[in-house]
Amino acid sequence: MTIPLVVGNWKMNGGLAACADLAHATADLLSRQNSRAMVALAPPFTALGSVKNILIASDIKLAAQNCHWEESGAFTGEISAPMLRDIGCHFVIVGHSERRHQLYESDDMIARKLMAALKHDLRPILCIGETLSQRHRNETLKVIGAQLDAALKGLAKGAIDKLEIAYEPVWAIGTGQNATAEQIDQVHNSIREYLKNNFGSSAGESVRVLYGGSVKPDNASMLARIATVNGLLVGGASLNAESFVKIVASFSPTVN
């Protein structure tokens, strides 16, 4: 059975001291918590090295929030996948909606980032999700399918279980309005169906499909109980160690 994954995406928050405090507090509380979930933390680039040193004694994995598709070169301000591997990252978030919408990352850029991550032994967490107007126009499943097509088009069949997928409806991110169990289940089922149709039935079963968008301690148990949810991508609530650890604990050691 798939081990659920809970990822804390700290976004552009925290200097070195604040990130160190949060990493210490999260690791400390998690060590006293029972959960069957694997946990990863994605601090800002500047804190990856120091947070890595704090997490070294724990099972918590290090994640980056983005990477470039090239290995090195004249790309001012960018960080490459081998650099992330070098600093100790295990995961990298790719295609987050804040990057798609505010920094105009295209499907093509996201596909290239995903391939670069895989090439350098990083597990990409591919984010996909519809905007509110796309949902209102009943285009959710079409949008999800197109995002998957674009990101996974170059992927060899055998490589599909080397990544995670996070369904994050754009309208649910940072808004306090999470998707309902029915909405999540419908999209997660369609992602699963897509994976089976394009990568074979066993591959389609092993890939984790996470949910993200206003995950909080008070909705985490409901989300963790949805059979098609294999983990959570947590933004705002991961900036508070107690809230984040409560969310992790919603995946109790025995299946809910």
Q: Give, as ranges, the residues between 6 and 25 that touch ligand PGA (CB under 6 A).
A: 9
Smallest gap, in angstroms, from Cβ of residue 42 to ligand PGA?
9
Q: Does 173 bind ligand PGA (CB under 6 A)?
A: yes
The answer to whether the CB of 42 falls within 8 A of the CB of 10 is yes
User: What is the residue whose two structure tokens read 């890939």?
Assistant: 207
Smallest gap, in angstroms, from Cβ of residue 171 to ligand PGA?
10
Give me the catalytic one of 96, 98, 120, 130.
96
Q: Give, as ranges, the residues between 205 and 234 that touch ligand PGA (CB under 6 A).
A: 212-215, 233-234
Smallest gap, in angstroms, from Cβ of residue 212 to ligand PGA?
4
Half-sphere exposure of 202 (CA within 13 A, CB side): 3
Burial class from Cβ neighbours inside 10 Å (0-12, 13-18, 19+) for residue 78 reads middle
Q: Which residue is nearest to ligand PGA (CB)?
A: 235
Smallest gap, in angstroms, from Cβ of residue 54 to ligand PGA?
22
Burial class from Cβ neighbours inside 10 Å (0-12, 13-18, 19+) for residue 30 reads buried
Q: Does 160 bind ligand PGA (CB under 6 A)?
A: no
3-state SS record for 108-175: HHHHHHHHHHHHCCCEEEEEECCCHHHHHCCCHHHHHHHHHHHHHCCCCHHHHHHCEEEECCHHHCCC
Give me the catalytic one of 105, 164, 168, 188.
168
Binding residue count for ligand PGA, defined by CB under 6 A: 13
The string of DSSP letters for 185-235 reads HHHHHHHHHHHHHHH-HHHHHHSEEEEESS--HHHHHHHHTSTT--EEEES
Q: Which of 105, 130, 164, 168 binds ligand PGA (CB under 6 A)?
A: 168
In the complex with ligand PGA, which residue's Cβ is closer, 204 or 235?
A: 235
**What single-letter DSSP state applies at residue 238?**
G
Q: Which of 112, 174, 196, 217 binds ligand PGA (CB under 6 A)?
A: 174
Q: Give, as ranges, the residues between 236 and 255 that touch ligand PGA (CB under 6 A).
A: 236-237
Q: Is the dihedral of CA 94, 97, 99, 103 positive or negative?
A: positive
Smallest gap, in angstroms, from Cβ of residue 197 to ligand PGA?
27
Q: Does 39 bind ligand PGA (CB under 6 A)?
A: no
Q: Does 235 bind ligand PGA (CB under 6 A)?
A: yes
- Is 96 a known active-site residue? yes
Write out the residues near ligand PGA by the rule CB under 6 A. 9, 168, 173-174, 212-215, 233-237
Mind telling me the catalytic residues?
96, 168
